[in-house]
Amino acid sequence: MNVSVDRAKCDNHGQCTFSAPTVFRLNEQGILEYDEKVDDSLRADVDEAADVCPMQAIIVTD
Ligand code: SF4
C-alpha cells in the first residue's frame, strides 16, 4: 500500500506513531517521518493510525 501525509494538515504531535510505530516516527527535530511504501501486512496498523489522526492528514491507497 502507499501512505502519504498532508504536511499542511499534520501537527507533528505523533498520535500515528503509537498505532503504527514501524511506519510513522518523529525525528530528533520532532518532525514526522514515515514510510511511503508499506507492506500490506501492516494495513490494520496503518488504518488505525489514519483513524486516530486528529487532523485526518493520513492518506492510504492500494
Ligand atoms: S497523527 Fe496525524 S497530525 Fe499527528 S503526527 Fe501523525 S499524521 Fe501528523
Which domains are delineated in the chain?
2-61 (3.30.70.20)
Ligand 1 site, residue 11, Cβ cutoff 6 A: yes
Predicted structure pTM score: 0.96
Q: Percent of the chain scored above 70 by pLDDT?
A: 100
- Measuring from atom 3 of ligand 1, which residue has the nearest CA? 10
Cα–Cα distance measured from residue 62 to residue 54, given in angstroms and rounded to the nearest whole number:
22
Q: Residue 49: name the closest of 25, 22, 26, 15 by CA.
A: 15
Q: Give the per-residue pLDDT at 24.
A: 98
Give the model's confidence band at 20: pLDDT under 50 very low, under 70 low, under 90 confident, else very high.
very high
User: Do residues 38 and 62 touch, judged by C-beta distance below 8 A?
Assistant: no
Which residue of 19, 53, 56, 59 sits with most ligand 1 atoms within 8 Å of its CB, as the best mutation to test the pocket?
Answer: 53
Cα–Cα distance measured from residue 30 to residue 59, given in angstroms and rounded to the nearest whole number:
21
Residues 6+ away with beta carbon under 8 Å from 40? 1
